[in-house]
Amino acid sequence: MDARLNTFDEKMQKSLNNLKEEYSSIRAGRANPHVLDKIRVDYYGTPTALQQVANVSVPEPRMIQIQPWEASLVKEIEKAILVSDLGLNPTNDGKVIRLVFPELTEERRKDLAKDIKKKGEGAKVAIRNIRRDAKDTFKKLSKEGDVSEDEIKDLEDSVQKLTDSYIKKVDEAVDAKAKEIMTV
């Protein structure tokens, strides 16, 4: 691959990785500890990742168990989960917090599938914007006279192939996540 394409390849890869990271926080009726990745707990005045102040485990397919390392954190963790957009009600016995994931309704599954497609479209737009930036960069090279028109054409063809491959990867990620959500 041409060295001039590397930066655009990296940017497109970051867009794809970002999409996959967003998908990992969408719950599919199964307990997945990654849905808690973005939750921050007030730990002595410092917003701290939940995984750094508690042990997170999945004892059953539809339950996450959170065991704080300090009993005083139970209320803080509960509060952080309630204000998050997870839509879960934590229960606790004073030492351990449990999150039970309800079965998703058909309507909720369809809403999630729409959301998944919307996020996929966002990733595609980001990738296309990167392609546009690449073409602009190549045009500047052409105006400066550093590169021949044939080389510019080759670079543009290469960036189009790169774009097509990333768009295909996004489509595959969207299809896989939508299938996971719609599977009962």
Question: For 151-181, what is each residue's pLDDT tens digit?
Answer: 888 888 999 999 999 999 999 999 988 888 8
User: pLDDT value at position 124?
Assistant: 94
pLDDT surpasses 80 at 70:
yes
User: pLDDT value at position 125?
Assistant: 94
Question: What CATH number is given for 33-100 in this structure?
Answer: 3.30.1360.40
Element (H, E) at 99: strand 97-100
Average per-residue pLDDT in the chain? 85
pLDDT surpasses 70 at 67:
yes
User: pLDDT value at position 84?
Assistant: 79
3-24+105-182 under CATH 2.160.10.10, yes or no: no
Rounded CA-CA distance 30/84 in Å is 18
User: pLDDT value at position 123?
Assistant: 93
The three state secondary structure string of 49-67 is EHHHCEEEEEEECCEEEEE
Give me the residue spans of the domains in the chain: 3-24+105-182, 33-100
pLDDT surpasses 70 at 99:
yes
Look up residue 38 and give its two tokens.
Answer: 């973005």
User: pLDDT value at position 168?
Assistant: 94
Crossing angle of helices 149-182/3-24, nearest 10°?
10
